[in-house]
Amino acid sequence: MKNEAFNDRNVSSDGYFKVDIAEYPTDGWAKFTRVVRRTFRAELFVGLWVVLREMLKFDIHTIQYPLEKMPIGPRYRAVHEMKRLWESDAERCIGCGLCEKICISNCIKMDTKIDEHSRKEVSEYTINLGRCIFCGYCAEVCPELAITHGGEYENCSEQREHFIDYTGMLTPLEMMANGTQKEFEGFGAITPHEDESVKKTPLSY
């Protein structure tokens, strides 16, 4: 491949041309006549005619949001979800604090404590969606695939506090009973056939 076309950095020739712009009016009368001209030219009806024509065709490609919604790709990074374990319905989050550490907009906060079985328990967990930039680092860093992004992109509320509700993110138990919890395929997800590369620990029994 030859590079001459790229090496020619003289943009003034070869296909570039100046846009033809009329002189700007300088005095008051000229300005007035321009306003009148623009107002009574029937340009508006050109647009209206296009809309009317398309409407009469009854073959519209527009999505009727909010009645209709586009399917969202599995890797889309919308509002977070907290997943449960398939085998026990327990929350997957172990409270390691990595998402809190990696969060670049400092919107994740958590508090942990020791529970009655001497295990680490997450006692409080919030994501301030008002600050979140949906970068996906938290989902990527999570060692348990506990925090992921979901497809829920509609956030609106009158209160900022509504953006930090933990129970809204956690998979409901009914979903677990129906087996309809969806695994996330985006950042941090297990690559297909990961299990084939796992080496087992030697056991003497």
Partner 1 sequence: MSKIVNFTIDGVSVEAQKGETILQVARKNDIYIPTMCYISKTTPCASCRMCVVEAQGLEGFVLSCNTPPTEGIEITTNSNDLEHERTNIMKLYDVNHPLECGVCDKSGECDLQNKTLEFNVGQQSFAAKDIPRKIENWGMINYDPALCILCEKCVHVCNEVIGDDAIDIKFGGYSSTIIPKNSETLDCTYCGECIAVCPVGALISSDFQYTANAWELSRVPATCVHCSGGCSLEYEVKDAGIYGDKTIYRVKNNFEYTSLCGAGRFGFDFDNKASKNEADLNKAIKAIRSAKAIRFSSMITNEEAYILEEFKEKFGMKLFNEDARLFASFMDAYSSISGKKHHSGSLDAIKLCEAAIVIGSRIATDNPALRYALTTASKHNGAKIVYAHPLEDVLMKNTASQLMKYEAGAEEGVIALLANGIVKKADLDEDEKEFFDSLDLGYLGAESNIGEEEISQMIQSFSRAKNHVLIIGSDIMAHPRARNIAKIVALIEKYSAFSVVVVPSQVNTLGVSLINSLDIDEDMVDNVVGYNAKGNFVISSLEFANLSIPSLNQQEGTFVSIDNRVLPTNVALDFEGYTLNDIASVCAIKHKNTIDCTKLLSQKSGFKALNFDELENFLSAHGDDNRGYLLDEVDCKMDGKLENIEDLAEFNGTVIYHSNPVLQFNAYTNKTSQLERDTSLRGSAQFAQVAKISDGETIEISFGSTTIQRTFKLDEDLKGTIALNPTFDIAVDSSKYRFEKSKIVRVTNE
Q: Which residues bind partner 1 (CB under 8 A)?
A: 94-98, 100-101, 109-114, 118-121, 123-126, 143-144, 199, 201-205
Smallest gap from residue 100 Cβ to partner 1 (A): 8
Helix or strand or coil: residue 62? coil
- Residue number with CB closer to partner 1 (25 or 143): 143
- Name residue, tokens 């009973």: 177
Is it true that the peptide bond before 202 is cis, omega within 30 degrees of 0? no
Residue 113: both structure tokens together: 């404590």
Rounded to a whole number of angstroms, the minimum distance from the CB of residue 168 to partner 1 is: 16
Distance between CA atoms of residues 39 and 34, nearest Å? 9
Query: Furthest-apart CA pair in the chain: how many Å?
Result: 100
> Judged by CB, which is closer to partner 1: 69, or 101?
101
Cβ nearer to partner 1, comparing 120 with 131? 120
* Closest approach of partner 1 to the CB of residue 109, in Å: 4
**Closest distance of CB 181 from partner 1, Å:** 22
Report yes or no: 157 and 168 within 8 Å, Cβ to Cβ: no
State the nearest-atom distance from the C-beta of 131 to partner 1, in Å: 14
Q: What angle do CA 25, 31, 34 make, to 5 degrees?
A: 95
Give 79 or 93: the residue with its C-beta nearer to partner 1. Answer: 93
Our CB check for partner 1 shows the closer of 77 and 84 to be 84
60 contacts 75 by C-beta, under 8 angstroms: no
Say how far apart CA 139 and CA 92 lie, in whole Å. 13
